[in-house]
Homo-oligomer: A and B are copies of this chain.
């Protein structure tokens, strides 16, 4: 067993995962540095437990600039009454907490992308220590895992909930039931081409029911997009039998991302003008966006073309684009 060879996690929790009731506390991660020789990162955590039942692990802030998840989970941590619960709910609204505080995708401490850092290391960077703690302590406690994502500061998405195509079809079916229960406006079946280092994969390899979302982006959240997250998490807890009550049924449209032609990249930098918006459909070969060179007026813009027929489900958010940036993502209706 890999875990046997590793030293214990340096992270200590101020909450007791076995106690009933509501506990608000911290995962304390020692972090010695120039401005605090004996400092720590204090990751907020809430545990709400009530007797026997399944455990849900609910996470946001895996990337620090994505906000629907943290909003729904700070709200849930404040409101969830143990009397309503059967089992256990573990809430970490901001997994990569240093990134969340900085409002950046990656950690300002070590530039770690938490979702490419699994299984982590107990003696690695701060980000790797967080991954290791989830890998060896929190994921093993969970039956069902919901990890919220959005587009962050540089991408914008149509709101969807998703699970992965898995080898274990029973596990896969349960995950998609969960996606349906969540009730986002769109739902996607994802086949990850490269899932190495992801939290998703870590959870799935342990046999957990894992679902994720993309609920907007641009480094912001709206009342509408946060509402989808808040309703979705309650629906998932109801579906799992952890809280009582009926799922609020929502219409959803199922989408598919067939292959790498979904993605359109910029080959030149400049000022980007989109000719279609999220949710619009385009035909193969159509111009999705124009990129104006910023060095002079009167120069022809570079064009980004659709490589397949589809629906625009994601786009580059900032007004300027760099060569190599993903400009647009298309999907097809199932």
Contact = CB atoms under 8 A, between A and B. Distances in A.
Interface of A: 7, 10, 22, 24, 26, 28, 31-42, 44-46, 63, 65-67, 70-71, 73-75, 77-78, 91, 93-94, 100-101, 103-106, 111, 113, 116, 123, 151-156, 194, 196-197, 218-224, 226, 263, 265, 267-269, 271, 273-277, 280, 292, 294-301, 317-320, 322-326
Closest 4 pairs between A and B when the two form their complex, measured CB to CB: A40-B324, A24-B298, A67-B319, A38-B326
B297 A78 contact: yes
Which of the listed residues A31, A116, A299 has the most CB atoms from chain B within 10 Å of its own CB?
A299
Which of the listed residues A113, A197, A326 has the most CB atoms from chain B within 10 Å of its own CB?
A326
A33 to B, nearest CB: 7
A26 to B, nearest CB: 7
B155 A275 contact: no
A320 to B, nearest CB: 5
A281 to B, nearest CB: 13
Given A37-B153, A74-B301, 14 more contacts: A24-B298, A35-B153, A37-B151, A37-B326, A46-B297, A67-B271, A71-B271, A93-B297, A103-B320, A123-B197, A218-B218, A218-B219, A222-B277, A223-B274
A317 B273 contact: no
Contacts of A24: 296-299
A153 to B, nearest CB: 7
Which of the listed residues A155, A294, A319 has the most CB atoms from chain B within 10 Å of its own CB?
A319
Contacts of A22: 298
Given A226-B273, A273-B71, A39 B298 contact: no
B152 A37 contact: yes
A319 B220 contact: yes
Which of the listed residues A26, A42, A105, A116 has the most CB atoms from chain B within 10 Å of its own CB?
A42
19 contacts: A34-B111, A35-B153, A37-B152, A39-B325, A40-B324, A41-B324, A46-B297, A46-B298, A67-B319, A74-B271, A74-B297, A74-B301, A77-B298, A78-B297, A91-B297, A218-B317, A219-B318, A219-B319, A223-B274
Contacts of A325: 36, 38-40
B268 A295 contact: yes
A74 B294 CA distance: 9
Contacts of A276: 223
Contacts of A196: 7, 123
